[in-house]
Structure 1
Amino acid sequence: MKALSRLSLFLLIAAVVLCASAGRLCADQDKWITVTARFAGEGKAAEERATQDALRKAVEEACGVFLTGRSQTKDYKLVYDKVFADAVGYVKEYKVLEISSNGSVTSATIKALVSTQKFEHDWASIAHTVSAEGNPRVMIIVAESVYTDPRSSIPVDTAGIIQPRLEDFFLSKGLRLIDQATASAVSNRDKQLAVIKDDVSELAAIGARFKADVVVAARAIARYGKPIAIEGQTLYQFSGNMSVRVIQADSAALLASKAFPAASSNSFNLAGGGEKVLLKLADDNKEALLAEIVEAWRKRAQVKRTIDISIAGMDFEGFKVLRDKLSSMAGVRSVNLRQLAEGVADVEVDCEFDLQRLADMLTELEGVKLAVVEISANRLKLKVSGANP
């Protein structure tokens, strides 16, 4: 009895210690960090850049950041920077405590609440990221195939198991979806064929046609395995897999690509076994899929984004002026000419701010008079003043 009492006391102490440790771990998930960052120049653009650098610094100090690439600075002015960051934490909220400038360098001091838990587990912060990206409109297209006969290469029709499951989940997390009734002008067969053929350009075109910003294209396959006899009944085994591509509609850029773990399911009904494993694929992976999409948006917001620009009425001399003017501005990483044909320049701009801010900067450039013709989620169309669009 005494031994049992000592064991009970030991277990009680161990439980208290574990609870206290867990409490400390939970408490350590959020940290307030005060940091200062500097950037060459003065004015609004320099203030924004210094603040963004301070936010990155806060995450790095709180939980570390893994960097690959090269970065060089000279007197706080960025010379070359191609950095990919995968922070294990992120800023939940922040306050700007002080902005100061000595005429050549702008300093920003911020106090930031940094979370060190995995980003995909905090749905409130995912909502903040979606809002920061301008609440992109999402179109979901799923091609499903169920093979119930191992000897046949012809799948049976399904009622669409995964798509409504994903749509309901995305809507519950505050994402804006393109209504399927609106997109009915393109037949489901045409959309699914584009997924099966992995035709990224066609999928992007379908999304752009209905003013979607992002297309989520999923391919799911369920296959019948083998029967198992159990007490006079037959149990049918099914396995399934799903892969997803996330595509920017206006540029056909691939934002994310992921193959999810295989799933398996058993059913006493051969006809319903395939649909059961498809449903399991959707439920097992819907959170990871949304986290993958939002993580691509988060990195674009915190590291850099690439914006495609098309400028009508521009020659090479005009592009050189544009490149030099734009490259000298705070927050612009690089300006690259991709094509110049028939008076239209296709340019990629790597920058640290959103498309609206870039449009403002382009129309205010000295030496190059540009007018905005069209704006989409990640693409700008402009013309040189006096030129035909």
Structure 2
Amino acid sequence: MNALKLTVLCYLAATVALAGDKQPELVTQEATGEAAIVDNNRDKAFQDAKNAALREAVEQVVGVLVSSTTLTANNQLISDRILSRSDGYVRKYDVLEKQEDKGVVRVKVRAQVGTAQLDRDLQAVRALIDRLAGGRLLIVLQEQSAGPDKVITQTNVLSQILAETFQKDGWRIIDPAFAAGKLEVSSGVSLLTPEKKVIQDLRSADYIITGTVTMRHEPPNAAFPLSGYYPVTGEFELKVFATDSGTQIAHLSDGFNSQGVSVSVSYERTAHSIAKTRGQKIVDEVRKAVVNHLSSSEQNGKAVVVTVLGLADYASVGEFKKLLAQAVTGLRDVKQGDFVKGKATFDAFFVGTTDDFAEALSKKTYKGKKVSVTGVTGNTVEITLAK
């Protein structure tokens, strides 16, 4: 994806000032795109160049609607959510010029871009940006490095790189030594949602990255001298959990080697360079997963495991499910789980926090019994019915 251009933003600064609070329904914008001719397929090159020009036109209109600070700080998010479907905002266009030079087709268009839907979609992106700002992240990785002599040492190379990169991206990194609650991720308590995990009482972080990283210091190849060459290979496997629902929102794994980085100083420097290169890609993937999670939570609600103690019989389970649906505003759906010896579990999908959920129930009664909230974590609510 092309980065959003600062030059375009500067050019449009005057337009932003004149635009005022209300934008015209259509904005006419000229833009140019280009594409290489592959396998002598000029028609495809023309289509690709035209699409690139239309995308550029929409991109410039986005620059009118959004501040330069928002664009430069969140260009990947806007590219993914807006510019990836830019053709949906173009109401009409004319091809002004078509040129071919040294295997490249260049197309200039004049496009009419509709601002109503574009602005609505940008508002949604702004809301996501606001929710991403200051997100609290806990990074708990098991990293080890194996030297040529087979000695294993514990390291934190990728952890440090990820922490630094996420901080630059606006995240707040939680020190594992000060994180409240348990760091281990236990299995889910409901058979209905086996992919869901219960993060035990961990409320200091919004998201957790856990996993393993292995780096191996390889011996020099016979084609290279024994000194001055420090190749490193390895692999990582990372999982990202949202603590508000215990849901695994990303699973990243890959191998790596020294290709593209300097290997002439030390094994440690090679490992650092590899981690830095991969770190930015990991940040992008995690950020994308978080955005998708937030979007899904807004539409469908986040998962909350509700445990109810003190129900008399199985018929009471269905009746209490109806109480949940009536009493909790923002409840998208609730599914009945296990019922054993007066203890029932439900999977609720709720727009809001578990504190909001608990507050909505704490003042209710069920068959004359007070509904007491006796436990709340980031993604669980425990309810005890008074005798």
Matched, 1:317 2:315: yes
The unaligned stretches of length 5 or more in structure 1 are: 1-14, 33-57, 65-93, 95-109
Cα offset for 1:374? Answer: 3.1
Equivalent in the alignment of 2:58: 25
* AA at the equivalent of 1:236: Y
The 8 Å contact of residues 306 and 348 in structure 2, kept in 1 or not, is answered as: yes
Give the Cα–Cα distance (whole angstroms) in 2 for the partners of residues 278 and 17 of structure 1.
Answer: 37
Matched, 1:285 2:286: no
Equivalent in the alignment of 2:140: 141
The 8 Å contact of residues 148 and 270 in structure 1, kept in 2 or not, is answered as: no
The 8 Å contact of residues 309 and 383 in structure 2, kept in 1 or not, is answered as: yes
Equivalent in the alignment of 1:40: none
Give the Cα–Cα distance (whole angstroms) in 1 for the partners of residues 87 and 32 of structure 2.
Answer: 25
* AA at the equivalent of 2:121: V
Matched, 1:256 2:250: yes
The correspondence for 1:274, drawn from 271, 276, 285, is 271
Cα offset for 1:302? Answer: 2.6
Equivalent in the alignment of 2:78: none
Give the Cα–Cα distance (whole angstroms) in 2 for the partners of residues 112 and 213 of structure 1.
Answer: 29
Give the Cα–Cα distance (whole angstroms) in 1 for the partners of residues 281 and 324 of structure 2.
Answer: 46
Matched, 1:243 2:237: yes
The 8 Å contact of residues 147 and 222 in structure 1, kept in 2 or not, is answered as: yes
Cα offset for 1:217? Answer: 0.4
Matched, 1:114 2:114: no
Equivalent in the alignment of 1:334: 333
Give the Cα–Cα distance (whole angstroms) in 2 for the partners of residues 331 and 205 of structure 1.
Answer: 21
The unaligned stretches of length 5 or more in structure 2 are: 1-29, 35-52, 66-81, 89-115, 189-196
* AA at the equivalent of 1:378: N
Equivalent in the alignment of 2:294: 297
The 8 Å contact of residues 226 and 237 in structure 1, kept in 2 or not, is answered as: yes
Residues 279, 286 of structure 1: CA spacing in aligned structure 2 closer, same or farther, 3 A cutoff?
A: same
Give the Cα–Cα distance (whole angstroms) in 1 for the partners of residues 335 and 139 of structure 2.
Answer: 32
Give the Cα–Cα distance (whole angstroms) in 1 for the partners of residues 344 and 219 of structure 2.
Answer: 58
Residues 148, 378 of structure 1: CA spacing in aligned structure 2 closer, same or farther, 3 A cutoff?
A: same
Equivalent in the alignment of 2:215: 222
Cα offset for 1:308? Answer: 0.9
* AA at the equivalent of 2:349: D
Matched, 1:208 2:201: yes
* AA at the equivalent of 1:214: Y
* AA at the equivalent of 1:114: D
* Secondary structure of the structure 1 residue equivalent to 2:120: strand
The 8 Å contact of residues 302 and 351 in structure 2, kept in 1 or not, is answered as: yes
The 8 Å contact of residues 212 and 249 in structure 1, kept in 2 or not, is answered as: yes
Equivalent in the alignment of 1:87: none
Cα offset for 1:307? Answer: 0.9
- TM value normalised by structure 2: 0.56
Equivalent in the alignment of 1:355: 354
The correspondence for 2:159, drawn from 163, 183, 190, is 163
Equivalent in the alignment of 1:345: 344
Listed one character per residue, the Cα deviations across residues 286-326 of structure 1 (whole Å, up to 9, x for unaligned) are: 23223323432332223332111122222333322121243
Residues 239, 130 of structure 1: CA spacing in aligned structure 2 closer, same or farther, 3 A cutoff?
A: same
Give the Cα–Cα distance (whole angstroms) in 1 for the partners of residues 374 and 186 of structure 2.
Answer: 26
Identify, as 1 or 2, the structure richer in strand.
1
Give the superposed CA RMSD. 4.5
* AA at the equivalent of 1:219: T
* Secondary structure of the structure 1 residue equivalent to 2:153: coil
The 8 Å contact of residues 307 and 345 in structure 2, kept in 1 or not, is answered as: yes
Cα offset for 1:141? Answer: 0.4
Cα offset for 1:275? Answer: 4.0
The 8 Å contact of residues 239 and 248 in structure 2, kept in 1 or not, is answered as: yes
Cα offset for 1:257? Answer: 1.6
The correspondence for 1:306, drawn from 294, 303, 308, is 303
Give the Cα–Cα distance (whole angstroms) in 2 for the partners of residues 367 and 212 of structure 1.
Answer: 34
Q: What pairs up with 1:99-110 in 2 under 5 angstroms?
A: none
Cα offset for 1:165? Answer: 2.3
Give the Cα–Cα distance (whole angstroms) in 1 for the partners of residues 31 and 318 of structure 2.
Answer: 68
The 8 Å contact of residues 308 and 349 in structure 1, kept in 2 or not, is answered as: yes
Residues 205, 138 of structure 1: CA spacing in aligned structure 2 closer, same or farther, 3 A cutoff?
A: farther
Residues 246, 232 of structure 1: CA spacing in aligned structure 2 closer, same or farther, 3 A cutoff?
A: closer
The correspondence for 2:130, drawn from 128, 131, 134, is 128
Residues 25, 231 of structure 1: CA spacing in aligned structure 2 closer, same or farther, 3 A cutoff?
A: farther
The alignment-based identity, stated in percent, is 15
- TM value normalised by structure 1: 0.56
The 8 Å contact of residues 310 and 380 in structure 1, kept in 2 or not, is answered as: yes
